[in-house]
Structure 1
Amino acid sequence: MANDIGIREPVFTDVDFSSVPASVVDDAGKIADELVGNRGERYEVVVNQLVGSYIAARDVDIVVFFNSGGMGWNYVADTPGWESILQGITDELKALGNRPLILNYCRTNRGLWGSIKEMIEASTRYTKKVPDMEKRVEFLVDHLPDLKFIIAGESTGTVITEEAMAFLRDRPNVYSIQTGNPFWYKARVQERTLRINTNGTCEDAFSYGNVPGMVWATFKHWIGLSPPDEHPGDILKWLRAPGHHYSWEYPGISSEIIEFLEDNFNKGN
């Protein structure tokens, strides 16, 4: 069975280890052993992803780990709202004098069994999935200590992002940007974290727990009575959640993120 969990964008295969210090390769092997065992194709995939991300990151200033919402298997192109946000973050970081790298982390295997495991994990704050992402971030933090890192997440992806950030709270070069936190998850008060739960046009029904509003909006959509000016937003593409829509085009999104980036990543200061 194919394993989709890990850094899916960019793709790291056939990685050339010749320019990588032996200590980095050894550490990648130890982490892969912890995550998937020390043999087989999955082990090789994790080692390649870790070493490949190290090679890509050593030529930049900031690494952004993105974790999507929904089931957690989306590629960036399948997440149009956050595709625009990641592009906006990239452009702003470059304007501030940085060289950014975007890594898209997928936490779930596609298919029915992957969906079931994702729902179980979500109900337990991703106790089994958090270490996989956290160790990948920590690997780069340990071996590239002069870099800065942003763990970014949307919707349900903010839970694993938040939990990973808790493990890395003592790492002053690790930051977090989150949009649309689920109402059932109580986020911690953490430094170096930007949470946005409104796009500036209306309250996010999913973040504020407006379940009746979500049910009513979904029902109207199903029977074709949704007004054309209804605030967009959905969960898993079928449950309507007015306001649960985040994109760089919303001034309430772009302005908040730009301020956060200027405060923390301005190389001119």
Structure 2
Amino acid sequence: MSKWDWELRSCGRHGHVTWKPTEEDLAERLHVETVDGEAWRCLRCATFVVGAPHGEGPAEDAPLVLRGKALRDAFILRLLAAERFIRGVLLVALAYGVYKFDGAQNSLEQVFQDYLPTLKPLADKLGIDLQNTGPVKLIQKALTADHSTLKLVAIGVLAYGALELLEGVGLWLMKRWGEYVAMVGTLVFIPLEVYELVERVTWLRVVAFVFNLFAVVYLLWSKRLFGFRGGREAFEAERHGQSLLEVEQAAA
């Protein structure tokens, strides 16, 4: 089985990134002459690319291109972001349903049937069973309450959905604040998921619990949040240590 080359596949999608450093020794290590003209090593996949460099200047000014572990981390973060986006959209729709159908016992199901016929099958396939999750079950119990209480419920669900969307944006853009928001937002609901599993075990609940637990542990460990494993400084040092320019500079 051939090895999955993350860097080369990423360059295939986004294009190569080449840079001509002003440091002569480093420039010589990144440059060759070919029968087709000059070629420069891509900062992502390390392949020599024929043509003029995309930029030039001191090595410290070169773009920090994700490579190796950092590139794989980016893929995982965007998978988490996609899940957060989907959940956020469904929760916002749910908030609208609580507000729209004010007090109807079947309001949650009616939202999906009447307003989101395409999203319900998607939610089912992804294992997002909103009808039976802890927060939604609490909402269902509140649906018989008075109008003012239902407004508060709708606002609460809307806020939860907005939080999920915020997490999705932060994770997709690979912002550190997004990683903190995602970790805290996920961690808060883990005790509720444990309570659900104690109450009744289903494969959807187990999958959701394992997925969220993985997200928390992954973000804490790989992103070194809250000062863990050296914190932000160690995280940035690790990223820079994987930079092709810094690797070549150290070798030179």
Larger radius of gyration: 2
* Shorter-normalised TM range: under 0.3
- Higher share in strand: 1
Q: Which is helix-richer, 1 or 2?
A: 2
